[in-house]
Amino acid sequence: MISLAGRDILHSLEKFVLTGVGLGLLIGVTLTMAGVYRGMVDDAEVLLDNSGTDLWVVQKDTLGPYAEPSSLEDDTWRGIRAMPGVADAADVTYLTMQVQGIEPTGLRDVRSMVVGIAPGAPGTPGWPPYLIAGRQITHSHYEVVADIASGFRLGEQVQIRRERYTVVGLTRRLVSSSGDPMVFIPLKDAQQAQFLKDNDAIVRNRARTAGNPALNRPGVPGLLDAVIASQSTNPYVNAVLVQITPGYTPDEVAASIRRWKRLTVYTRAQMEDILVKKLIATASKQIGMFLVILALVSAAIVAFIIYTLTLGKIREIAVLKLIGTTNRTIAAMIMQQAVGLGLIGFLVGKIAATFWGPFFPRYVLLEPADTARGFAIVVVICVLASLLAIRAALKVDPAEAIGG
């Protein structure tokens, strides 16, 4: 038996292809939305993987350092470093802010996550694990390693708050959970960037401190200077990143730190949970809603097109039934057409999503499993969408082919 659906599609190829392309663009958007979600999850995982960390030690009872503010004294790492099972520990600060590119590309702002990394060597927790160009930070101040997504180039001058830095290295796929590229700078610079105020604010603050009789007692020389000095330095970091010694489990080292340092400690799995289930939960729900709406719109389009095409063939269907075509053959014809439309749409959608994905500002991860799931969903939607047309076709009376 010949394929009636195939022949009909070939006969109306232009109409089918144009409809399929329209549907495909919609499917492409749907796949891209799924890819954006996967990209967010992947960004979160890459963020954790690339931090080179087994444990995150943060301020007690906070979800820091990514999901909530966290503040620890910058010498906390020393005590942790000395604990059993700890191979290495280092301070880190995270600050999302505008980093201004200055030369040679001209003034432009880049939303970035500025990461303050402790002095050390490659492999120190928090350091970028690999570079694609340039070198790691070797000076104590004013050097930057930036993610390539920031658009900064080697040798470029960038401004963070009041200081200028030189880009000495470039890395890749190091972004925050919001998709902002990471910019690594020395820890001391980062601490200063977090708290350093402008000159006017400093003058006003000093005047206010000097005006406080409790901090400026005539009988205690040097008190005011000591207070002002303490106000102008920032001894805090957001977290201590810990690498554990082989042979220890993250949970036992974490339990030890919690017990003796009275701080909150997260393992890799717990931190992933925070990032995926808490930090990007709202975004993923929003994307989920879009996916549902897009699926419904796709179904409505397929149903409308197939229903319209079927109504245009009522007389032919009546003739087919009159000459002995079974309902199953007619239903299969309509269903195959709907699935054919879906196949064209899926092919176009997949190509479109693959083509335009890299142009999105956020990382779009098109996973083969999502593609397979998307394909299955498209087929199911097309089958369901064809039911309306099949119902109309099966109601056609073969007697309609005869006389009036």
Partner 1 sequence: MDKPANQLQKQGIRIEGLKKRYGEGDTAVDALKGVDMQVAPGEVVGLVGPSGSGKTTMLKCLGAVIEPTAGRMTLASEVIYDERWKISDLRALRRDKIGFVFQAPYLIPFLDVTDNVAILPMLAGRPNGEARKRALELLEALDIAHRARAMPSQLSGGEQQRVSIARALVNRPPVILADEPTAPLDSERALAVMRILNQMARQYETAIIIVTHDEKIIPTFKRIYRIRDGRTEEEAGEGRSLQ
304: tokens are: 């409308």
**Minimum Å distance from CB 385 to partner 1?**
21
Question: Alpha-carbon distance 24 to 346, whole Å?
Answer: 6
Of 11 and 60, which has the nearer Cβ to partner 1?
Answer: 11
Question: Alpha-carbon distance 263 to 58, whole Å?
Answer: 6
**Minimum Å distance from CB 273 to partner 1?**
56
Binding to partner 1 by residue 107, rule CB under 8 A? no
Binding to partner 1 by residue 399, rule CB under 8 A? yes
Binding to partner 1 by residue 62, rule CB under 8 A? no
Of 262 and 328, which has the nearer Cβ to partner 1?
Answer: 328
Binding to partner 1 by residue 166, rule CB under 8 A? no
Question: Alpha-carbon distance 397 to 315, whole Å?
Answer: 10
Question: Alpha-carbon distance 352 to 365, whole Å?
Answer: 14
With CA atoms as reference, report the closest residue to 124 among 33, 75, 52, 64: 52
Stretch of 7-15, 128-136, 205-213, 353-361 contacting partner 1, by CB under 8 A: 7-15
Binding to partner 1 by residue 1, rule CB under 8 A? yes
What count of other Cβ atoms lies within 10 Å of the Cβ of residue 340? 19
**Minimum Å distance from CB 303 to partner 1?**
21
Question: Alpha-carbon distance 136 to 155, whole Å?
Answer: 13
**Minimum Å distance from CB 1 to partner 1?**
5
Of 4 and 167, which has the nearer Cβ to partner 1?
Answer: 4
How many residues contact partner 1, by CB under 8 A? 26
- 307-326 residues in contact with partner 1 (CB under 8 A) are 315-316, 319-326
| DSSP 8-state symbol, 179 | S
**Minimum Å distance from CB 359 to partner 1?**
40
Mask 10-49, x = binds partner 1 (CB under 8 A)? Answer: xxx-------------------------------------
Element (H, E) at 265: strand 264-267
Of 4 and 29, which has the nearer Cβ to partner 1?
Answer: 4
**Minimum Å distance from CB 301 to partner 1?**
22
Among 106, 219, 246, 404, binds partner 1 (CB under 8 A): 404
Among 166, 270, 329, 354, binds partner 1 (CB under 8 A): 329
Of 246 and 403, which has the nearer Cβ to partner 1?
Answer: 403
**Minimum Å distance from CB 299 to partner 1?**
25
With CA atoms as reference, report the closest residue to 166 among 137, 143, 200: 143
Q: Spell 64-94 as b/e; 16+ CB within 10 A means b.
A: bbbbeebbbebebbebbeeeebbebbbbbbb
Question: Alpha-carbon distance 328 to 306, whole Å?
Answer: 17
Cα-Cα-Cα-Cα torsion 213, 216, 221, 225, nearest 10 degrees, comes to 170
What count of other Cβ atoms lies within 10 Å of the Cβ of residue 171? 25
Distance of CA 361 to the CA centre of its chain: 10
- 379-398 residues in contact with partner 1 (CB under 8 A) are 397-398
What count of other Cβ atoms lies within 10 Å of the Cβ of residue 300? 12
Among 106, 246, 247, 403, binds partner 1 (CB under 8 A): 403
What count of other Cβ atoms lies within 10 Å of the Cβ of residue 286? 13
Mask 273-312, x = binds partner 1 (CB under 8 A)? Answer: ----------------------------------------
With CA atoms as reference, report the closest residue to 168 among 142, 206, 140, 201: 142
Of 235 and 312, which has the nearer Cβ to partner 1?
Answer: 312
Q: Which residues bind partner 1 (CB under 8 A)?
A: 1-2, 4, 7-8, 10-12, 315-316, 319-326, 329, 397-399, 401-404
